[in-house]
Amino acid sequence: MMNATEERAGGAADRHVPVLLQRCVDLLAPALAAPGSVLVDCTLGMGGHTEGVLEQVPTARVIGIDRDPEALRLASERLARFGDRFTPVHAVYDEIGEVVSEHTADGPTPGAVQGVLMDLGVSSLQLDETVRGFAYSQDAPLDMRMDPTRGHTAADVLNTYDERELARILREYGEERFAARIARAIVRRRESEPWERSGDLVDLLRATIPAATRKTGGHPAKRTFQALRIEVNGEIEVLGRAVPAAIEALATDGRIVVESYHSLEDRIVKRALQRGTTSSAPPGLPVEPETHKPYLEALTRGAETADGPELERNPRSASVRLRAARRVRPTPDHLREARGTRARTGHEKPRKHQARKEDRR
């Protein structure tokens, strides 16, 4: 077993197997055929999907967004050979509209891109580095921040949220049937000692979840760790803003591909794409008005999953659900305005993105 220092020394290509890589490239490539076409990889990670696109689609360039500075560093090293065809940006991917506006001003379609890719959830980097606290298999500080330079940690959540709120996030984000029981145990334990280490949480979960239920569903800590990670990083709120923003960033004939890994993510993606592939005209009209016609065309029949060879090559693909669509026309004004109103009454984005200047040695 490698220690944390040895893990960080490994290159990105050695540590990351991108999920459904060829399928993603095949879906995106037709939109990237013209010289200067731009793909936004919203969840760059260690750059595996971006590398596949840059290798197989020589006309494309990629803007890679990630909130994790270490992921940006490793991906930039991996992709340095592509020169200015790759641009790393330190941001949260719901800021895609701002990123696209800034980095496409001199391109063939200013303010718009030809492709968007999202590979959601926790990255291999975050899972594999023990010190990040994402993995329940190793004892580590309870951090779980995708950007370790800002925001509250998993320990902060466990030490400050009340019992009802803890139960809610475990139930909603982890689909944990014993959410109330676990939340009660978490609060009781912190009365004598604050939460600091993941190993202590794993021990509590083993003691709290009935042994008879552990025979199915994987490790007893899996759902709680997922829920904490989602809460710490605001993943559901970010995704809810990001998918509509990504669709709006697409030029006509542009394509969006999204890989999700649990039902909450997939539901948000499915609804956003369905809104675009469904007519908004009132039922019963003899002729569908042009302004109510669908603005997206589905490229997948429902959600695609990993086949046998993919599962054998990459066990982390077991829960993937892939959906894709093509923009066929601009979003009608009445739908864009309605969505803008909803966005203004929701959560405000807490961060301003900043471009990452990487040394391409």
Instruction: Note the pLDDT of residue 126.
Output: 58
Domains of the chain: 4-124+236-355 (3.40.50.150), 135-233 (1.10.150.170)
Sign of CA dihedral 104, 108, 109, 110: positive
pLDDT in tens, 136-176: 888 999 999 999 888 999 999 999 999 999 999 999 999 99
Q: In the predicted model, is pLDDT for residue 215 greater than 70?
A: no
> What pLDDT is recorded for position 350?
38
User: Which residues lie below 8 Å from residue 138, measured CB to CB, with a gap of 6+?
Assistant: 130, 198, 199
CA distance 168 to 42: 28
- Report the binding-site residues for S-adenosyl-L-methionine: 47-49, 66, 93, 119, 126
69-92: pLDDT as tens digits: 999 999 999 999 999 999 999 999
The dihedrals phi and psi of 328, each to the nearest 5 degrees, come to -105, -20
Which of the four pLDDT bands, split at 50, 70 and 90, describes residue 211? confident
Phi, psi of 267 (to 5 degrees): -65, -40
6: number of Cβ within 10 Å: 9
Q: Which tokens is 303 given?
A: 């959600």
Which pLDDT belongs to residue 250? 97
At residue 136, the pLDDT reads 83
DSSP E strand boundaries for 187-338: 250-260, 296-298, 321-327
Return the minimum-mean-pLDDT range out of 58-67, 148-157, 281-290, 333-342. 333-342
Give me the mean pLDDT over the 7-35 stretch: 80
353 vs 326, higher pLDDT: 326
Q: Return the DSSP state at 348.
A: P
Give the residue ranges of the annotated binding site.
47-49, 66, 93, 119, 126
Lowest average pLDDT, out of 37-51, 130-144, 148-162, 333-347, goes to 333-347
pLDDT above 50 for 228 = yes
Residues with Cβ within 8 Å of 77's Cβ and at least 6 positions away in sequence, in order, are: 11, 12
Distance CA 243, CA 324 (A): 12
pLDDT at 356 over 50: no
Q: How far apart are CA 108 and CA 94, in angstroms?
A: 23
DSSP 8-state class, residue 300: S
Q: What is the pTM of this model?
A: 0.85
Mean pLDDT for 210-232 is 85
User: What percent of the chain is modeled with pLDDT above 90?
Assistant: 69
Which residue(s) pair with 65 in the sheet? 89
Q: In angstroms, how far is CA 42 from the centroid of its own chain?
A: 8
CA distance 313 to 269: 26
Band the pLDDT of 339: cuts 50, 70, 90. low
What's the CA gap between 73 and 63, in Å, rounded? Answer: 14
Q: Quickly state the pLDDT bin for 344 (edges 50, 70, 90).
A: very low
**pLDDT of the residue at 355:** 40
